[in-house]
A and B are shown apart, each in its own frame.
Chain A
Amino acid sequence: MLEIALKLAGVIAAFLLLPLLVGQTEHKLMAHMQGRLGPMHAGRFHGWAQLIADGVKFAQKEDLVPAAADRPVFKLAPAVALVPYLLVLLFIPLGPGDLVGSGLEMGLFVVLALVGIGVLAVLMAGWASANKYTLVGALRAAAQLMAYELPLVLAAASIAVAAGTLNLSGIVEAWHPWWLLWQAPAALIFFIAGLAEIRRPPFDAPVADSELVFGYLTEYAGLRFALLLLAEYAGIVVIAALTSVLFLGGWKGPGPDSLGWLWTLLKTGALSAVVIWLRVAWPRLRVDQIQALCWKGLVPAALGQLVLTTVVALA
């Protein structure tokens, strides 16, 4: 019982801490890539407390719900966006043995199902806002999320065939460094599709600020807006962690197994930095380019990888 309570506390702590770390890193990394300083005042030392200050400010903001909005749906959407990412963290192994929230045999299946809930939250937010721009943003997001679900699932299936298990710890245990080469296309496809699933640039057409104000987030203010933003950063953590666990060997690396958790965190952090970097370096894709990349590029490539994996795994 105590063990379970400790694990749950660990998962919740990771959920509250890691997205803030990624957010602060984004502030500073983006700033320096663009020749700025970023936040410098809050907390005195290089603005380390900026996000805490933001949180305090958001908590004191008036709760605004447009009169035309569908109230219950509008209010529920932030929770629906946020909670699935918390649940995903339960299945991500930090290290070998017991360092995982839940060792469910079909962990990978559950994780992908949870990531797929994102589309529901976006449609709820966009539709309930009763605003033309949010509606267009939500429809764009729905089309994008459904399309990229396929390469995501197919790439994950490829690694499941290679490892012969759906248990995330089992996949890391079966992982071998040469998979970096053999599963490289799947890894790339999974990461790109993951980026699209969390609607990060260059796949941020659903919230394109120059076309749609702020997409499906336009009508949100105060704490509900903050929760939706937290969901975005939790999404970065989840996609980075899943990619490192499935394709980069998770806790495996030089050094003793007892330091494995450090490897998982390092790989997750490095991939999160890549997500931030892409936001600075890439222009936004058009809606039709997003669909074309998925259906004409990623889906056929993922199917090819699945065939290759099956053949090699059986040979």
Chain B
Amino acid sequence: MNSSLLGDYAVFGVLLLAGFAFVAVAMTANRLLRPHAPSAAKALTYECGVDPVGGDWAQVQIRYYVYAFLFVLFAVEAVFLFPWAAVAASFGPPAAAEMGVFVGVLVLGLAYAWRKGVLRWQ
């Protein structure tokens, strides 16, 4: 497996380059085929079809940040979950119990957030 590991990542890297090359080739073809007639009106922000009013990067009321916090909670778990998933069967019940505790703490966190009304839309 070790000998092929580097090869696997090399293939991945080549495909990554190929993906960006595809976009570059498409944009180059576009450059050769397209008209170029810039004007101030065209460069205006489209928004909803009417001339934009006020600043562009407007402030919005962000109700989502609590969800972002919750996500961080679980995202860390996901990183640990996968290596565990691959070996859980060979370690047997102790591994399951440990992950049970780990997931249990997180469930408690979610239940607490739910009870506190964080999941209610305000």
Give chain A nearest CB distance to B92 CB in angstroms: 6
Q: Does A181 contact B (CB under 8 A)?
A: no
> Chain A: which residue is nearest B93 at the CB level?
A314
> Chain B: which residue is nearest A218 at the CB level?
B46
The reply to whether B99 and A222 form a contact with Cβ atoms under 8 Å apart is: no
The reply to whether A166 and B82 form a contact with Cβ atoms under 8 Å apart is: yes
Question: Interface of A with B (CB < 8 Å)?
Answer: 4, 7-8, 11-12, 59-69, 78-79, 82-83, 86-87, 90, 101-106, 108-110, 127, 129-133, 135-136, 139-140, 142-143, 146-147, 149-150, 153-154, 157, 160-161, 164-166, 213, 218-219, 222-223, 227, 287-288, 291-292, 295-296, 299-300, 303, 306-307, 310-311, 313-314
Instruction: Return chain B residues, CB-CB under 8 Å to A129.
Output: 45
The reply to whether B56 and A164 form a contact with Cβ atoms under 8 Å apart is: no
* Contact string against A for B residues 91-107, beta-carbon threshold 8 Å, 1 for contact and 0 otherwise: 01100100110010001
A291 to B22, CA, bound (A): 36
The reply to whether B56 and A219 form a contact with Cβ atoms under 8 Å apart is: no
Instruction: Return chain A residues, CB-CB under 8 Å to B103.
Output: 303, 306-307
Which secondary structure characterizes the binding site on chain A? helix
Q: Does B114 contact A (CB under 8 A)?
A: yes
The reply to whether B78 and A157 form a contact with Cβ atoms under 8 Å apart is: yes
A166 to B84, CA, bound (A): 10
A–B complex contacts, Cβ < 8 Å, 28 sampled = A11-B15, A60-B35, A62-B42, A66-B46, A67-B40, A68-B56, A82-B23, A90-B12, A101-B15, A131-B45, A131-B47, A132-B58, A135-B58, A143-B67, A146-B67, A147-B71, A149-B71, A161-B89, A213-B49, A218-B47, A292-B119, A295-B119, A296-B119, A303-B107, A307-B103, A310-B100, A311-B96, A313-B89
- Pick from B20, B68, B119: contact of A146, CB under 8 Å: B68
Q: Does B36 contact A (CB under 8 A)?
A: yes
A135-B60, A165-B86 known; A104 vs B8 contact (CB < 8 Å): yes
Instruction: Return chain A residues, CB-CB under 8 Å to B99.
Output: 310
- Bin the interface of chain B by size: 35 or more
> Chain A: which residue is nearest B86 at the CB level?
A166
Instruction: Return chain A residues, CB-CB under 8 Å to B92.
Output: 314
43-65 of chain B: CB within 8 A of chain A: 43-49, 52, 56-58, 60, 62, 64
The reply to whether B12 and A87 form a contact with Cβ atoms under 8 Å apart is: yes
Give chain A nearest CB distance to B53 CB in angstroms: 9
> Chain B: which residue is nearest A314 at the CB level?
B96
The reply to whether A213 and B47 form a contact with Cβ atoms under 8 Å apart is: yes
Give chain A nearest CB distance to B119 CB in angstroms: 5
Instruction: Return chain B residues, CB-CB under 8 Å to A12.
Output: 15, 18, 22
A63 to B36, CA, bound (A): 8
Give chain A nearest CB distance to B43 CB in angstroms: 4
Instruction: Return chain B residues, CB-CB under 8 Å to A90.
Output: 11-12, 15
Instruction: Return chain A residues, CB-CB under 8 Å to B71.
Output: 146-147, 149-150
The reply to whether B82 and A108 form a contact with Cβ atoms under 8 Å apart is: yes
Instruction: Return chain B residues, CB-CB under 8 Å to A166.
Output: 82, 85-86
A166 to B88, CA, bound (A): 12
The reply to whether B30 and A102 form a contact with Cβ atoms under 8 Å apart is: no
Instruction: Return chain B residues, CB-CB under 8 Å to A103.
Output: 4, 8
- Pick from A62, A82, A314: contact of B19, CB under 8 Å: A82
A63-B34, A103-B8, A160-B86 known; A8 vs B68 contact (CB < 8 Å): no
The reply to whether A7 and B62 form a contact with Cβ atoms under 8 Å apart is: no
The reply to whether B44 and A66 form a contact with Cβ atoms under 8 Å apart is: yes
A291 to B23, CA, bound (A): 34
The reply to whether B119 and A7 form a contact with Cβ atoms under 8 Å apart is: no
The reply to whether A7 and B82 form a contact with Cβ atoms under 8 Å apart is: no
**20 new A-B contacts at CB < 8 Å, known A104-B8, A139-B60:** A7-B11, A63-B31, A67-B45, A78-B23, A79-B23, A83-B19, A104-B5, A109-B82, A132-B47, A133-B48, A135-B57, A153-B81, A165-B86, A292-B119, A295-B110, A295-B114, A299-B74, A303-B103, A303-B107, A314-B96
